[in-house]
Amino acid sequence: MDGPHPQIRQVALELEERYQQELDRTAHSRFRSLSDVAVVATLHHHYALFTGRAIPASTGCATSTSGLRTRPIGSRQWR
């Protein structure tokens, strides 16, 4: 999900030290691949949770539109 991902500095530094090779490979990859490490959206949060530095919680989510008319791909009708 796009949006802000608060992080704990010490957790980020620990991840950089512990998984340096994997993170470097992802950072220097010209194209994204399935073997890339999703640090901000996934790894940081799970690592912090599993090491006792985060707590499970849920968040609400909402979407909005810009007011522009759209149409489904392949459709000739505008909404």
- Three-state SS across 36-60? CCCHHHHHHHHHHHHCCCCCCCCCC
* pLDDT, one tens digit for every residue, the chain (79 residues): 567 888 999 999 999 999 999 999 999 999 988 889 988 888 999 999 999 999 888 776 666 666 666 666 666 665 5
At 24-41, the pLDDT tens digits run: 999 999 998 888 998 888
Query: For 4, which DSSP code?
Result: -
- What does the domain layout of the chain look like in residue ranges? 9-50
| pTM of the predicted model as reported, rounded to 2 decimal places | 0.65
Residue tagged 């392949």 (tokens): 74
